[in-house]
Amino acid sequence: METISVHPNPRPTLLTVLCILTFIGSGIGVLGNLVAMFFAPFIDLFQPCMLDDAYNHLGNDAGALIVKQALDMAQIVFDNFLAITLSKFILFALSLTGAIMMFKMKRIGFYLYTAAQVGFLFVAPVFIGWNLFVSMALLFSGFFSALFIALYAINLKHMS
């Protein structure tokens, strides 16, 4: 006698864990960037005197040059704050949507998630430009993006 199961294939544990981690990270990213966009009009209240004061206290040694580069980058972030937070909000929302779809065992979620992760790699270079800090951040975030994409890809065979 043969029994037929009416239950679909269960979701693999690795996929469940990855999706939960993505729900947490992307959920915090969506909420954080939403709040940041709300406060974007007030960013000019902090920027002018704070950076000028910091520039005035810099010396000419190697450490001061690194600090100057960081301050220059902070100035660029202030100038592009709304565009950066809006871009990141959209990418986090896309990543979250992809994770929800993968949690529901939909293959299209993997492609949405992957597109969002690749998009994240372009936000800083587009708005800030290339420098030591951006390069290090890309290396770090690129590693974890590639790791998660690879781990999600292992589970593609279970998705429809």
Does 63 fall in a domain?
A: yes
pLDDT at position 54 over 90:
no
Lookup: tokens for 150: 């690879």
Please tell me the pTM assigned to this model: 0.83
Does 4 fall in a domain?
A: no
Does 23 fall in a domain?
A: yes
Mean of per-residue pLDDT scores for the chain: 87
In the 8-state DSSP scheme, what is residue 147?
H
Does 97 fall in a domain?
A: yes
pLDDT at position 32 over 70:
yes
For the segment 62-73, what is each residue's pLDDT rounded down to a tens digit? Answer: 677 777 777 788
DSSP of 83-135, one letter per residue? Answer: HHHHHHHHHHHHHHHHHHHHHTT-THHHHHHHHHHHHHHHHHHHHT-S-HHHH
Does 7 fall in a domain?
A: no
Structural contact between residues 127 and 80, judged by C-beta atoms closer than 8 angstroms: yes
The better pLDDT of the pair 156, 57 is held by: 156
Quick one: pLDDT band at residue 41, thresholds 50, 70, 90? confident
Closest C-alpha among 104, 95, 51 to residue 76: 51
The better pLDDT of the pair 49, 145 is held by: 145
Structural contact between residues 115 and 64, judged by C-beta atoms closer than 8 angstroms: no
- Cα atoms in the Cβ-side hemisphere of radius 13 Å centred on 113: 30
For the segment 127-154, what is each residue's pLDDT rounded down to a tens digit? Answer: 998 888 899 999 999 999 999 999 999 9
Which residues constitute the domain of residue 29?
13-158
Structural contact between residues 82 and 37, judged by C-beta atoms closer than 8 angstroms: yes
Query: Looking at the 3D structure of the chain, how many domains does it have?
Result: 1
For the segment 86-124, what is each residue's pLDDT rounded down to a tens digit? Answer: 999 999 999 999 999 999 999 999 999 999 999 999 999
